[in-house]
């Protein structure tokens, strides 16, 4: 019996080292909204890894320049992708950061890896001014890229987790359907969570940002500065600068001549 047990252990270990097997676990998407309608997104996709060869493949590729397509090819997992629609909200500053493996079995060579995907999504929320210094921001239709039903509603699968996190100085206005971590919506709520097997029917997410008077003044002068520098660096601006310098130079030349005549 002891020999049979040892044989089974050897078979399990050997089978784990021969095959390179990657299995999808779940997806955790955190969207950090800002005041301008953009967002910083952190996605964590967990992967179960069976076999030492798979673990070596994962570890050997950590140091390689990472991108979504490469990891999808390496693992054969189609669910490694963005969950923000980059055609609606362009993605910049992309980083794929594979996390160190965690062993999940003492007998078989089984591990869990996490691909952390970070990026900025421009214009994920539509911003419009509703009154002086007050702006309303709404999540853009089709901005998220999860599964959908025939009506076009977002369908979170059992392994999908979605968070939206707001800045401290904004107020939430509308969330529909209501987040699962909230019983009654309060304007001061800042974190919202939905998990798997959920349909976000006619999904709505709206928050309000009130700009301070100081911010408004600083933005006004920043706009003037940008307009000035834009004009100076343009062809018309260069001509105007040359003309200005010629006028100043002519003034000093004439002043010098008048001084000598006196």
pLDDT tens track for 64-85: 657 888 888 888 899 999 999 9
- pLDDT tens digits for range 13-27: 334 334 458 999 999
Angle at CA 84, nearest 5°, toward 219 and 166?
A: 50
What distance in Å separates the CA atoms of residue 205 and residue 121, rounded to the nearest whole number?
16
Can you spell out the DSSP letters for 5-25? HHHHHHHHHHHHHH--EEEEE
Instruction: Look up residue 31 and give its two tokens.
Output: 């969207």
CATH code linked to domain 2-210: 2.60.40
Q: Looking at residue 227, what is its pLDDT?
A: 64
Strands (E), 63-217: 91-98, 102-103, 110-121, 125-131, 134-139, 147-148, 154-156, 160-165, 170-176, 191-195, 198-200, 204-210
Of residues 24, 27, 30, 192, the one with CA closest to residue 118:
30
Question: If DSSP codes are grouped into helix, strand and coil, which group holds residue 35?
Answer: coil
How is the beta sheet containing 134-139 ordered, strand by strand? 125-131, 134-139, 204-210, 170-176
- What is the total residue count of the chain? 262
- pLDDT tens digits for range 182-197: 999 999 999 999 998 8
Q: What is the DSSP letter of 50?
A: E
pLDDT at 228 over 80: no
- pLDDT tens digits for range 206-220: 999 999 755 554 555
pLDDT at 89 over 90: yes
Q: Looking at residue 54, what is its pLDDT?
A: 84
Q: What is the DSSP letter of 66?
A: P
Question: If DSSP codes are grouped into helix, strand and coil, which group holds residue 217?
Answer: helix
Q: How far is CA 55 from CA 1, 24, 50, 104, 224, in A?
A: 32, 14, 7, 12, 56
Q: What is the DSSP letter of 65?
A: P
Q: Looking at residue 215, what is its pLDDT?
A: 54
Residue with the larger pLDDT of the pair 73 and 90: 90
- pLDDT tens digits for range 151-184: 999 999 999 999 999 999 999 999 999 999 999 9
- Residue 67's Cβ-side half-sphere holds a number of Cα atoms within 13 Å equal to 5
- How many Cβ atoms are within 10 Å of 143's Cβ, its own excluded? 21
């Amino acid at each position: 019996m002891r020999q049979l047990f040892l044989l089974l252990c050897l078979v399990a270990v050997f089978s784990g080292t021969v095959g390179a097997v990657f299995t999808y676990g779940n997806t955790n998407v955190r969207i950090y909204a800002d005041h301008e309608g953009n967002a910083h997104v952190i996605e964590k996709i967990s992967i179960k890894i069976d076999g030492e060869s798979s673990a070596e493949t994962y570890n050997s590729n950590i140091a390689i320049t990472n991108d979504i397509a490469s990891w999808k090819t390496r693992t054969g997992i189609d669910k490694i992708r963005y969950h923000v629609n980059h055609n609606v909200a362009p993605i910049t500053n992309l980083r794929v950061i594979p996390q160190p493996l965690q062993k999940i079995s003492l007998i078989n060579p089984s591990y869990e890896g996490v691909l952390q995907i970070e990026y900025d999504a421009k214009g994920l929320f539509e911003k419009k001014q509703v009154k002086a210094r007050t702006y309303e921001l709404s999540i853009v239709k089709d901005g998220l890229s999860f599964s959908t039903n025939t009506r076009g509603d977002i369908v979170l699968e059992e392994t999908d987790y979605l968070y939206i996190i707001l800045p401290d100085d904004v107020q939430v206005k509308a969330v529909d359907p209501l987040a699962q971590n909230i019983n009654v919506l309060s304007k001061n709520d800042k974190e919202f969570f939905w998990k798997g097997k959920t349909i976000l029917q006619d999904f709505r997410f709206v928050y309000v940002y009130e700009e301070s008077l100081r911010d408004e003044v600083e933005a006004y002068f920043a706009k003037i500065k940008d307009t000035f520098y834009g004009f100076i660096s343009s062809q018309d601006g260069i001509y105007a600068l040359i003309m200005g310098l010629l006028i100043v130079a002519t003034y000093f030349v004439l002043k010098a001549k008048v001084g000598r005549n006196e």
